[in-house]
Amino acid sequence: MKNNIKQEIEDYIALEKKVKIFINKTEIISLYCTPSMIKELTIGLLLTEGIIKDTACNFEITISNDDIFVYLNSKDFEPVDLHHIRHLCGFTISKEKAFNKIKDDFSIPFLKLKELFEEFQNRCELFRLTGCFHSSAIADKSRVVEFAEDIGRHNSVDKVIGSCLLKNESLNDKMIFVSCRLSSEILFKCATWSIPLIASISAPTASAVDIAEKTGITLIGFFRNDKANIYTNNHRVI
């Protein structure tokens, strides 16, 4: 409908699938996601949430239709309270826990940070086509190294983290860019891997600012054009 006139047109619509994740044939998680980078999503989710205990664990992943099967030694698996399981566009059971405060010498010039964030935004093609996607990226000081889009904001973060972990790439010398609001759950994911800087086009919550301050993360919101709000640990942006 435009100018009170009905028109029939073709449009892009986001794909959405419900997938189930099994560990040693026991279903532990069911979630809705965009059907891409499923292996990366699975590893990012399970390791970040502590369901798989360590990146050094030996595991095997098999994908069959909409089911993801993860096989590993039972000693490397942290049992999950099934009351936490939710059928959502994204999943987290992260809760406040003790994190070591990030201590590093990471810094980046604002103009370079702006350049990398603009590169991230330019890649958000599915959002431009549908208006229905969240985007996340991992960047080092020179380039965007991982990028993902998903209907779920937690999913897009888990995908880029999982992609780095599968390639044995470090995260404690990287930045993460997101298109979503900066919530406590997103900050917990960053703190788990000691990611020193997170930036978003959107706003943070008060809890996210508090977590960033306590864990030593540089938290940047409202990153638009030549302006950005640096809420915590501004020494990293020079």
CATH number of the domain that residue 69 is part of: 3.10.20.10
Q: What is the domain count for the chain?
A: 2
* Number of neighbours of residue 75 by Cβ within 10 angstroms: 7
DSSP character at residue 164 = H
Q: For residues 185 and 49, is the Cβ–Cβ distance under 8 A?
A: no
- Report yes or no on 145 lying in a domain: yes
Report whether pLDDT(133) > 50.
yes
Q: How far apart are CA 172 and CA 103, in angstroms?
A: 10
Q: Are residues 191 and 78 in the same domain?
A: no
For the segment 6-19, what is each residue's pLDDT rounded down to a tens digit?
A: 989 898 999 999 99
Q: Which residues pair with 34 in a beta bridge?
A: none
Q: Are residues 115 and 232 in the same domain?
A: yes
Q: Are residues 157 and 211 in the same domain?
A: yes
* Mean per-residue pLDDT, 79-99: 53
Question: So which residues are the catalytic ones?
Answer: 89
Which amino acid makes up residue 166?
L
Pairing status of strand 59-64 against strand 26-33:
unpaired
- Write down which residue in 68, 84, 100 finishes a domain: 84
For the segment 154-189, what is each residue's pLDDT rounded down to a tens digit?
A: 999 999 999 999 999 999 999 999 999 999 999 999
Q: How far apart are CA 127 and CA 196, in angstroms?
A: 26
Domain holding 75, by residue range, is: 17-84
Q: How far apart are CA 167 and CA 212, in angstroms?
A: 27
DSSP character at residue 75 = G
Q: For residues 89 and 151, is the Cβ–Cβ distance under 8 A?
A: yes
Q: How far apart are CA 179 and CA 177, in angstroms?
A: 7
pTM tops 0.95: no
Per-residue confidence (pLDDT) for residue 86, from 0 to 100:
45
- Report yes or no on 156 lying in a domain: yes
Comparing 53 with 32, which gets the higher pLDDT? 32
- Report yes or no on 154 lying in a domain: yes
Report whether pLDDT(84) > 70.
no
Phi, psi of 51 (to 5 degrees): -70, -40
